[in-house]
Amino acid sequence: MMKGIYLDNNATTMVDPAIVEEMMPYFTEQFGNPSSMHEFGNKVGFAIKKARKQVQALLGAEHDSEIIFTSCGTESDSTAILSALKAQPERNEIITTVVEHPAVLTLCEQLEKEGYKVHYLKVDTKGQLDLSEYRKLLSDRVAIVSVMWANNETGTIFPAIEMADMASKAGVMFHTDAVQAVGKIPMDLKSSKIDMLSISGHKLHAPKGIGVLYLRRGVRYRPLLRGGHQERGRRAGTENTASIVGLGKAAELALEHMEYENVTVAAMRDRLQEGIMDSVPYSFVTGDPDNRLPNTCNIAFEYIEGEAILMLLNKQGIAASSGSACTSGSLEPSHVMRAMDIPYTAAHGSIRFSLSRYNTMEEIEKVIEAVPPIMVQLRKLSPYWDGDRPVDEPEKAFAPTYA
């Protein structure tokens, strides 16, 4: 098989070979339990300590003890939100946004069933929030605000620092799901009012199955998993040592490459977007291009459906992802696209290209060449399309029964 072009790094990333190398001894000779009172465990304990410091440095956290290793971003999100509710039983409201990842949204929907009041902040057509709406909702009834730092589908960046300040002034805990932002946006948490923050290892070239919850010192906390004294009793369960070591190394590399991500990767992304927009009519960029992760661009191709686009891209070895309903098996297109009021005929054809530092400009040029013929091919099959343009008044010309 030819080497594929991987532009789906917001889904998951390749584990950096340097990280694999760093991890290997912890599967073999360094197999000890860090809690054990012997030499086998002792060295592993030191390795975890080092990893904690590496993550601390990437986040700009004040103390390394503010880093709690978990199993994934979802666990970190659940831990943060449920902890805030448990620690403040007198508060029964949550503020979040309509465009969160399912890790937060599905939990919030469940909490609603259990009697909590959840406020979902809406977004405008660029996917941005109305901070005055947010300000009005902050009250002493709110247990926690949970707002993503950057959106996984569009790359749109929310003003997490400012929103944390506002929450702090109102005496409300602030959590941010930063799984897409960490390693791409420089952070200095010690100078912020962010109380809790979630990381997912596999989004920054560490393996799957490892995450972090940053917990500011002094924030009232209740663990999700109780048991042994691991992570100072804040997350019981034997440490996933090899992956913790891997995540530490990944954090170190992410810090080293922060500039590269924001300059070189961003330039490749810009070239990709420009190349596609120049050659494919009836397409547009979704989200907020002026406030966006350096590696992400999401383009909606009108009158065609995303899964079909992905299958044809995949045939040429190009990997991306889509906000179409069909790729997830649900009946609705991406909630993020719908929240931005993107019409169905475009939402289903939205494609996310997410790059990493392992992509090259040569790959980008290949993708720019491959995309336009695919759109022509699929539009030929579309009932909304006629020749080289959409049919006149497409939504009227083709209005199927039970739409």
Partner 1 sequence: MWDYSETVKEHFYNPRNAGVAEEANATGDVGSLSCGDALRLTLKVNPETEIIEDAGFQTFGCGSAIASSSALTEIIKGMTLDDALNVSNQDIADYLEGLPPEKMHCSVMGREALQAAVADYRGEEWADDHEEGALICKCFAVDAVLIEDTIRANNLKTVEDVAHYTKAGGGCASCHEGIEEILTKVLEEKGEKFDPTADTVPDVESSPATLVAGASGMTNLQRIRKIEAVIESLRPQLQADNGDVELVDVMGDTIYVNMTGACNGCQMASMTLGGIQQRLIEELGSFVKVLPATEMPKSAAGV
Work out whether 303 is an interface residue with partner 1 (CB under 8 A). Answer: yes
Q: Which residue of 311, 341, 360, 369 would you call a contact of partner 1, by CB under 8 A?
A: 311
Residue 130 vs 332, nearer CB to partner 1: 332
| Cα–Cα nearest to 394, from 278, 285, 282 | 282
* Stretch touching partner 1 by CB under 8 A, among 14-22, 211-219, 262-270, 342-350: 342-350
Task: Give kind and range of the element (H or E) at residue 277.
Answer: helix 266-279
Work out whether 381 is an interface residue with partner 1 (CB under 8 A). Answer: yes
Work out whether 382 is an interface residue with partner 1 (CB under 8 A). Answer: yes
Task: Give kind and range of the element (H or E) at residue 168.
Answer: helix 160-169
Q: How far is the CB of 327 from partner 1 (least distance, A)?
A: 8
By the 8 A CB rule, do 177 and 73 touch? yes
Work out whether 327 is an interface residue with partner 1 (CB under 8 A). Answer: yes
Question: CA dist 130 to 67, 120, 159, 303, Å?
Answer: 31, 11, 11, 30
Handedness of CA 94, 173, 146, 139 (dihedral sign): positive
* Stretch touching partner 1 by CB under 8 A, among 44-52, 186-194, 253-261, 331-339: 331-339
Work out whether 383 is an interface residue with partner 1 (CB under 8 A). Answer: yes
Residue 99 DSSP class? T
Query: What does the block give as tokens for 362?
Result: 């040569």
Q: What are phi and psi of 93, to 5 degrees?
A: -120, 155
Query: What does the block give as tokens for 353?
Result: 């290209």
Residue 234 vs 348, nearer CB to partner 1: 348
Q: How far is the CB of 325 from partner 1 (least distance, A)?
A: 4
Q: How far is the CB of 319 from partner 1 (least distance, A)?
A: 10
Residue 129 vs 347, nearer CB to partner 1: 347
Direct distance between the N- and C-terminal alpha carbons of the chain, in angstroms, rounded to an integer: 41
Work out whether 403 is an interface residue with partner 1 (CB under 8 A). Answer: yes
Buried b (16+ CB within 10 A) or exposed e, 247-272: bbbbbbbbbebbeebbebbbebbeeb
Q: Which residue of 348, 353, 356, 359 would you call a contact of partner 1, by CB under 8 A?
A: 348
Residue 40 vs 398, nearer CB to partner 1: 398
Residue 116 vs 398, nearer CB to partner 1: 398
By the 8 A CB rule, do 137 and 174 touch? no
Q: Which residue of 344, 365, 366, 372 would you call a contact of partner 1, by CB under 8 A?
A: 344
| Cα–Cα nearest to 269, from 3, 2, 4, 10 | 10
Identify the active-site residue in 72, 108, 297, 326: 326
Work out whether 387 is an interface residue with partner 1 (CB under 8 A). Answer: no
Q: d(Cα 280, Cα 379) in Å, to the nearest integer? A: 11
Work out whether 308 is an interface residue with partner 1 (CB under 8 A). Answer: yes
Query: What does the block give as tokens for 46?
Result: 């030191």
Q: Which residue of 332, 358, 373, 376 would you call a contact of partner 1, by CB under 8 A?
A: 332
Work out whether 1 is an interface residue with partner 1 (CB under 8 A). Answer: no
- Active-site annotation holds for 297: no
Task: Give kind and range of the element (H or E) at residue 50.
Answer: helix 39-59
Work out whether 98 is an interface residue with partner 1 (CB under 8 A). Answer: no
Residue reference for tokens 């709110």: 142
Q: Which residue of 331, 387, 388, 392 would you call a contact of partner 1, by CB under 8 A?
A: 331
Q: d(Cα 116, Cα 109) in Å, to the nearest integer? A: 9
Work out whether 40 is an interface residue with partner 1 (CB under 8 A). Answer: no
Residue type, 372: P
Query: What does the block give as tokens for 150?
Result: 């950057």
Work out whether 106 is an interface residue with partner 1 (CB under 8 A). Answer: no
Residues paired with residue 135 on neighbouring β-strands, in sequence order:
none
- The string of DSSP letters for 291-329 reads SB-TTEEEEEETTS-HHHHHHHHHHTTEE-EE--STTTT
Q: d(Cα 351, Cα 265) in Å, to the nearest integer? A: 18
Residue 324 vs 359, nearer CB to partner 1: 324
The interface mask with partner 1, positions 259-298, x = CB under 8 A, is ----------------------------------------
* Stretch touching partner 1 by CB under 8 A, among 154-162, 211-219, 290-298, 394-402: 394-402
The interface mask with partner 1, positions 155-194, x = CB under 8 A, is ----------------------------------------
- The site for partner 1 (CB under 8 A) is made up of 303-308, 311-312, 315, 324-327, 329-333, 344-345, 348, 380-384, 398-403
Report, as residue numbers or ranges, the catalytic residues.
326
